[in-house]
Amino acid sequence: MQKSARTGLAATASALLLAVAAGCSSDDGDSGSTASEGGGSLVLITPTPIGSNNFLALARDGAEAAGAANDATVDVYESTDPASIQQNIDAAVRDGVDIVIGVSFSVQDQFSTSAVDNPDQQFLLIDACPQEQPENLTCAVFREHESNYLAGVEAGLLTQTGAVGAVAALDDPFIHRWIDPFFAGAQSVNPAVTTSVQYVGGENPFGDTPRAKAQAEIVAGSGADHINAAASGGNPGVFEAAAENGVFAFGVDTNQCPEQPGTIVDNSIKRVDVALESAVEEILGGDAGGNKSYGLAEDGVGLTGLQEGVEDSGCLIADHPDVLEQVAAVRDQIVAGDIVVEDPVAAG
């Protein structure tokens, strides 16, 4: 299976010329079509270069696995800004690939518009979905509230102060999937637990590390000794504040424990690779469109602590096998439907 990685266009004269000719530049010199004779073709478009971004790396892994499973070639177009996102989409559409795949809300607007403009092209959007969804745009989303409930159970069992908190980017129903279930999980095993939350806000709520740190210091000052970090790119600020104040934190999306050794208990993770591979298989099999949801039952979300290799994860939860045993039991109850975790988005 042929595979190439492409990056978004730089704002230079030569890059603009390339944009007119092909829509994107190639890392490995392969500027031809991604399609292979007799096989399918997939293009994954990221909002930023993958680099050390574990979330985007998982999407790439999922695309590669989907290509291998379906005898399809895979190209990865790494964008640098909103303009290059659109240029990369346009290039993929011109190449006539089977599925154009985007990851994160950062590409949602471009994917929604492009799907309307190109009704014969199949699009797949991972971890986001527009309110008005075109028929040729499949969304793969996650039930993050389920895994955050499990993280809350851990916090409720581990807290020494009887207080837990959260630092979130915005006061938004979707972001509350990292707040309300976390608190509910903690109180399910420790009803006396008190809670507090602070929001980053400002002009850059998803990437303001200093502001996120300041909000975490407020939460720690309120007595919370376990803080759920839901500030996206601002999470390192939450982890730093937790370390400096002698409290603990939880990461999100991928294993963030190595970022602040000795401080991060566990992570509410999204298996972007699992969701992407599954959705691609369904689309290629004729089940395109609609909203595909991945939770604990589908192994689309979970905890680092419940994965194999937790002892090498750098997460503090590895030192608490008794807690993990209880959390695994709660997970099984959610999967079986015996426990229903309320979704803040559905609740409005």
Q: How many CA atoms lie within 13 A of 317 on its CB side?
A: 35
Q: How far apart are CA 24 and CA 85, in angstroms?
A: 10
For all residues of the chain together, what is the average pLDDT?
A: 89
Q: What single-letter amino acid sits at 337? A: G
Confidence bin at 207 (pLDDT 50/70/90)? confident
Q: How far is CA 132 from CA 108, 124, 244, 257, in A?
A: 11, 15, 44, 37
Cα torsion for 171, 148, 158, 318, to the nearest 10°? -130
> What is residue 346's predicted lDDT score, i.e. its pLDDT?
84
Instruction: Return the higher-pLDDT residue of 29 and 308.
Output: 308
Q: 98-138 pLDDT, tens per residue?
A: 999 999 988 999 999 999 999 999 999 999 999 999 999 99
> What is residue 113's predicted lDDT score, i.e. its pLDDT?
97
pLDDT above 70 (res 255):
yes
> What is residue 348's predicted lDDT score, i.e. its pLDDT?
63
What distance lies between CA 18 and its chain's CA centroid?
Answer: 31
The stretches of 255-301 forming alpha helices (DSSP H) are 272-284
What distance lies between CA 23 and its chain's CA centroid?
Answer: 27
Can you say whether the dihedral through the CA atoms of 303, 233, 47, 2 is positive or negative?
Answer: negative
pLDDT above 50 (res 75):
yes
pLDDT above 80 (res 25):
no
How many residues make up the chain in this entry?
Answer: 348
Give me the mean pLDDT over the 151-155 stretch.
98
Cα torsion for 199, 205, 206, 211, to the nearest 10°? -70
Q: How far apart are CA 80 and CA 10, in angstroms?
A: 7
Q: Do the Cβ atoms of 342 and 182 come closer than 8 Å? A: no
Confidence bin at 33 (pLDDT 50/70/90)? very low
Q: How far apart are CA 151 and CA 301, in angstroms?
A: 12
Both tokens assigned to 265? 């208990």
Q: Do the Cβ atoms of 312 and 336 come closer than 8 Å? A: no
Contact residues for 322 (Cβ-Cβ < 8 A; gap 6+): none
pLDDT above 70 (res 31):
no
Residues 215, 217, 222: CA angle, nearest 5 degrees: 100
Confidence bin at 51 (pLDDT 50/70/90)? confident
pLDDT above 80 (res 5):
no
Q: In what order do the strands lie in the sheet with 99-103?
A: 25-26, 3-7, 72-78, 40-46, 99-103, 122-126, 137-142, 291-294
Q: Do the Cβ atoms of 249 and 228 come closer than 8 Å? A: yes
Q: How far apart are CA 188 and CA 208, in angstroms?
A: 32
Q: Do the Cβ atoms of 79 and 10 come closer than 8 Å? A: no
Q: How far apart are CA 199 and CA 216, in angstroms?
A: 9
Range with the largest mean pLDDT of 21-30, 45-54, 100-109, 323-332: 323-332
| Burial class of residue 31 in the structure, from the number of CB atoms within 10 Å of its CB (0-12 exposed, 13-18 middle, 19+ buried) | middle
pLDDT above 60 (res 10):
no
Interhelix angle 180-189/321-336, rounded to 10 degrees, is: 110
> What is residue 157's predicted lDDT score, i.e. its pLDDT?
98
> What is residue 206's predicted lDDT score, i.e. its pLDDT?
86
